[in-house]
Chains A and B, each alone.
Chain A
Amino acid sequence: MEQWQYALVMMIGYLIIALGIGILSGRGRDSSSLTEFTVAGRNLNLVVTWFLMGGAIFSAFAFLGAPGWAFSRGAPALYILAYLVFGIVPWYFTGPKIGKIGRKLGLYSLVGFLKGRFESKPLSMLIGIISFFAFIQYLAIQIKGMAIIFDVMTEGRIPFWLGALIAYAIVVIYVATGGLRAAAWSDVFQGFLMIVVSWTVGIMVVNKLHGSTKSMFQNIIDNKPGFLEIGVEGSTMSPMAFTTLIIVSGLGLLMWPHLFSRSYSSGPKAIKQTVLAYPIFTLFLLPLLLVGFAGVSVISVNELGDPDQILPYLVTTVLDLPGVVYGLVGAAALAAAMSSSDVITHSASLEFTDGVIRNIKKDLSDKTVLLIMRTAVVMVGALAYFVAVFGGQGLIALLAGAYGSIVQFAPGVYSALYWKRATAPGVIAGLLTGFVVNIYFQMIQTNTPLDIHAGILGLIANIAVFVAVSYATMPQKVDTVEQYVNIDEMEEA
Chain B
Amino acid sequence: MSKKKFQRAYWISMLFLLLPFIFPLFEVANRPIPLILGLPFSLFWVCLWTFITFFVILIFYFIDPERRKGR
Chain A: how many interface residues by the 8 Å CB criterion?
Answer: 41
Asked if B38 and A214 make an inter-chain contact with CB atoms under 8 angstroms apart, the answer reads yes
* Chain B CB within 8 A of A239 CB: yes
Q: Please tell me if the beta carbons of A93 and B10 are within 8 angstroms of each other in the complex.
A: yes
Complex contacts, A243 vs chain B, CB 8 Å = 22-23, 26
A interface residue numbers (CB < 8 A to B)? 75, 78, 81-82, 85-86, 89-90, 92-93, 96, 212-214, 217-218, 220-221, 228-231, 239-240, 242-243, 246-247, 268-269, 272-273, 275-276, 279-280, 282-283, 286, 289, 488
Instruction: Check if B30 sits within 8 Å of A230, measured CB to CB.
Output: yes
Task: A213 to B64: give the CA distance in the assembly, Å.
Answer: 40
Which of these, B27, B38, B43, B71, contacts A268 with CB under 8 Å? Answer: B71
CA distance A286 to B46 in the complex (A): 11
Min CB gap A387→B, angstroms: 34
Contact with A along B47-71 (1 / 0, CB 8 A): 1001101100110110010100001
Q: Are A275 and B57 in contact (CB under 8 A)?
A: yes
A86/B18 in contact, CB under 8 A: yes
Does B40 contact A279, Cβ atoms closer than 8 Å? no
Are B38 and A247 within 8 A (Cβ)? no
CB distance from A272 to the nearest CB of B (A): 6
A/B interface sample: 25 pairs, CB < 8 A: A75-B40, A78-B42, A81-B46, A81-B47, A85-B53, A86-B14, A86-B18, A214-B38, A217-B39, A221-B32, A221-B33, A229-B30, A229-B32, A230-B42, A239-B24, A240-B23, A242-B23, A242-B26, A243-B26, A268-B66, A276-B58, A276-B61, A279-B54, A286-B47, A488-B3
A227 to chain B, nearest CB (A): 8
| Closest chain A residue to B50, Cβ basis | A279
Q: Once A and B bind, how many residue pairs between them come within 8 Å at the CB atom?
A: 96
Cβ contacts under 8 Å, A220 to chain B:
32
Chain A residues, CB < 8 A from B28: none
Within B12-42, which residues are at the interface with A (CB < 8 Å)? 14, 18, 21-24, 26-27, 30-33, 35, 38-40, 42
Q: Which residues of A contact B58 (CB under 8 A)?
A: 276
Where chain A touches its partner, the secondary structure class is: helix
Residue contact B21 to A246, C-beta cutoff 8 Å: yes
A81 cross-chain contacts in B, Cβ below 8 A: 46-47, 50
Q: A212 is contacted by which of B30, B31, B38, B40 (Cβ under 8 Å)?
A: B38
**6 further interface pairs, Cβ-Cβ under 8 Å (given A78-B43, A279-B50):** A221-B33, A229-B30, A239-B27, A268-B66, A268-B71, A280-B54
Total count of chain B residues near the partner, CB < 8 A:
34
**Which 6 pairs from chain A and chain B are nearest by CB?**
A213-B38, A228-B32, A239-B23, A82-B21, A243-B22, A214-B38
Give Cα A78–Cα B26 distance, bound, in whole angstroms: 11
**Complex Cα distance A28/B22, Å?**
49
C-alpha spacing A243/B22, complex, angstroms: 5
Chain A residues with Cβ below 8 Å from B32 are: 75, 217, 220-221, 228-229
| Residues of chain B lying within 8 A (CB to CB) of residue A96 | 71
A246 nearest CB across to chain B (Å): 6
CA distance A217 to B34 in the complex (A): 11
Chain B residues in 8 Å Cβ range of A488: 3
State how many angstroms separate the Cβ of B43 from the closest Cβ of chain A: 6
* A residues in contact with B33, CB < 8 Å: 221
> Complex formed: what's the CA distance from A230 to B22 in Å?
11
Q: Which residues of B contact A217 (CB under 8 A)?
A: 32, 35, 38-40
Whether A269 pairs with B21 at a CB distance below 8 angstroms is no
A82, A214, A246, A279: the one contacting B57 at CB < 8 Å is A279
Of all chain A residues, the one with the shortest Cβ separation from B27 is A239
* Alpha-carbon distance A219/B45, docked complex (angstroms): 20
Known contacts A86-B14, A230-B30, A247-B22; decide if A78 and B46 are in contact (CB<8 Å): yes
Residues of A contacting B47 in the complex (Cβ-Cβ under 8 angstroms): 81, 283, 286
Q: Is the CB of B50 within 8 A of A282?
A: yes
**Which residue of chain A is the closest to B41 with respect to CB atoms?**
A228
Closest to B58 in A: A276
Which residue of the partner chain B has the closest CB to A240? B23
Chain A residue with minimal CB distance to B52? A279
Complex contact B35–A218 (CB within 8 A): yes
Closest chain B residue to A273 by CB distance? B61
Contacts of B71 in A (CB 8 A): 96, 268-269
Name the CB-closest residue of B to A77: B43
A454 to B7, CA, bound (A): 31
* Residues of A close to B50: CB separation below 8 A: 81, 85, 279-280, 282-283
* Chain A residues in 8 Å Cβ range of B35: 214, 217-218
